[in-house]
Chains A and B, each alone.
Chain A
Amino acid sequence: KAGVTQTPRYLIKTRGQQVTLSCSPISGHRSVSWYQQTPGQGLQFLFEYFSETQRNKGNFPGRFSGRQFSNSRSEMNVSTLELGDSALYLCASSIGPHAFFGQGTRLTVV
């Protein structure tokens, strides 16, 4: 089985721009979650989608949004980028309590 695929792997954006990250989950997994990893805060939950519906949301500003498509693929969008948004963004697909992560997208905001 193919694992979780995230694209792109690396991204450099300028403050004020917006960015869209993509995640293809493991086949058959309907739950997709997104996490932000920074050196100071560790892995923090952004949101979870299940069958195209947002099922849970973390404590992030409204600039962070996401969606899930009918094939379970998910995207997250960050608008009006700030320097502090520089992080590793991780997508996880789950079946039951077991979440499997992609390689992540390293976003650098300059």
Chain B
Amino acid sequence: DQQVKQNSPSLSVQEGRISILNCDYTNSMFDYFLWYKKYPAEGPTFLISISSIKDKNEDGRFTVFLNKSAKHLSLHIVPSQPGDSAVYFCAARTQGGSEKLVFGKGTKLTVNP
């Protein structure tokens, strides 16, 4: 049972445009959502997070939106840069005292110059 889903395996955008990466979840007990960026053979790098009590969090070029009623979150990158090309993972933490994260399978973003 996949509790966190990233339905688009890949996304290609032009440099300077907006990249929108999507994530759906099924577990209402998730209390925190995080986005990570990953290059091959390296560990994921933390990008941005959002608490389940908020609907938006912004950090520079990165904004995460949370729609609890739809159990959907998205990561917006504006403007996209070629260096943003990587695999992006959505992750969620279940409330209750453990730091276990449940990950989606990732979306490979390619930003074309």
Contact = CB atoms under 8 A, between A and B. Distances in A.
A33 B99 contact: yes
Contacts of B36: 101
Contacts of B51: 97
Interface residues of B, number: 25
Contacts of B25: none
B13 interface: no
- Judged by DSSP, the binding face of B is strand
A90 B43 CA distance: 7
A64 interface: no
Contact of B106 (A33, A42, A98): A42
B99 A94 contact: yes
Contacts of B42: 103-104
Contact of A42 (B45, B93, B104): B104
Interface residues of A, number: 27
Contacts of A48: 98-100
B45 A101 contact: yes
Contacts, number: 67
Interface in B71-102: 89, 91, 93, 97-102
Instruction: Give the interface centre of A6, A44, A45 by most chain B CB atoms within 10 Å.
Output: A45
Contact of B34 (A98, A102, A104): A98
Nearest to B45: A101
A20 interface: no
A96 to B, nearest CB: 8
Given A33-B101, A45-B100, A56-B98, A100 B106 contact: no
10 contacts: A4-B43, A6-B43, A33-B99, A33-B101, A42-B103, A43-B103, A50-B99, A97-B31, A101-B44, A106-B41
Interface of A: 4, 6, 31, 33, 35, 42-45, 48, 50, 55-56, 58, 88, 90, 92, 94, 97-104, 106
